[in-house]
Each structure stands twice: as structure tokens, then as C-alpha cells.
Structure 1
Amino acid sequence: MKIGSYDLAANNLYADMQSMSNQAQNRIMSDSKVDRNVINPTSSNFADMLEKAIDNVNELGQTSKEKVTAFEMGDRNVTLADAMIAKEKSGVAFEATVQVRNKVLEAYQKIMQMPV
């Protein structure tokens, strides 16, 4: 069955879709003005994202340590609640980081066990 210039047979439909997809990608990639981030604006370097997350966890830990020390030294600007909340935020962030690390290691081990 034909509609327009496209054959709707099951085998030909898939081939036509692949052909159109390849043509569109080639057209986008051949345009030298197109930046890779325009094609997929959400793409980020995993290493950069991981570094930012670890820096954030480190910052939360430092803030927690500073608030606890300030409270222990008798600073009236830092309440017990402030110190406890900062400590909990730091602990939750650290635990989340450990869980991400565990999942990455688990995925790596599964990939390494795959037959080649």
C-alpha cells in the first residue's frame, strides 16, 4: 500500500525511517555552525557532574564542621538546631554519594563480567 511517495509495507517502513533519520543526522552534523550542545542541550560530562556533586558534599561537610565548632565554642549566632541541621545535611549528602559510588562500581563489575 502506498501513501504519497512512501511504501507502507512493514519491511520498507523501517528502512524508510532509518534512511530519513540518517539524512537528518547527516544534515545536522554537516552544518559546521551547530554546536553539539544544541543537538542535546541536556548532555553534560559525567565527570564534571560528579566533581560538582563531590564538591557540594565537601562544602556541606565543612559548613557542618564550622557550625558545630562555633556552637561548641559558645557562639551565640549559631543555635543547636543550626548545628544539628547542618550535620544532618552533611550526613545525608555523604550517604547519597556513597550510594552513587556503590551503584557505579556495581555497574562496572557487571560490565566487566559480560562475555566479549
Structure 2
Amino acid sequence: MKRFALIFFISIIAMHALYAQQTITLYDDAVPNSKPYGTKEWWQPVNNGSDTLVHYTSQPTLTIFLPDKKMATGTAVVICPGGGYWITSIVKEGFAVAKEFNKMGIAAFVLKYRMPEDSVMIN
């Protein structure tokens, strides 16, 4: 079990390093209208590593993907990955899409957002 956890952790770090240029948190302190809860955010690789699902997002972030300076058009997009209202398909519908925009000279910002959940939100 420890070996599986180590491989899982290393694959998440490697996947994140491969796709991300910089990630910033959207809130320095507690997320507005949130309440303490015990469920921890976790990333689950799926489809032989071609995607990663984020469960129970606790800290919203924005991951910045900048194109090569020689190709930059000055245009930017915000990408809100889908997932079905309980997870976020962060790689396939977020990071991979951002890389495609970068190929066209467009800066992309991938939003990792929280889902409405009574156990983590006051309203």
C-alpha cells in the first residue's frame, strides 16, 4: 500500500510539473462562506494517466499557462474544466486545453473551483 501511495504521489507531482507553469491560490485565508470539514482534496489519475480528476476541492486555484513570448498574441482565456458537478477533469479539460491555446499564442488560466457542498459551505 505504501508503494502504491508513493507511486501515486510521484505521478501527481510529475503530471503537475509537466503541465503547469505557475499556480496561485485565490484566497490567502479561509475561503469565504466556508466551514471547517474533514474531507481532504485528492487527485485521482484515470484512463491510464491521460486525465486526472480532482475530488473535494478545498482551495480554489488558478494555474497559469503562458505561451512562448515570440508567439504571444496578447489574448487570454479562463478555462473552467468540466466534470459532472462532483469532480473536476483537471488534465483533459483543463491543462491539456491550456497547452493547445498556448500553441496558438494565447495565454490560458485554468480555474480549479469548488463545488457547492453542504458539508463545506454555510449556504
TM-score for both structures, normalised by structure 2:
0.22
Which of the two has higher C-alpha Rg? 1
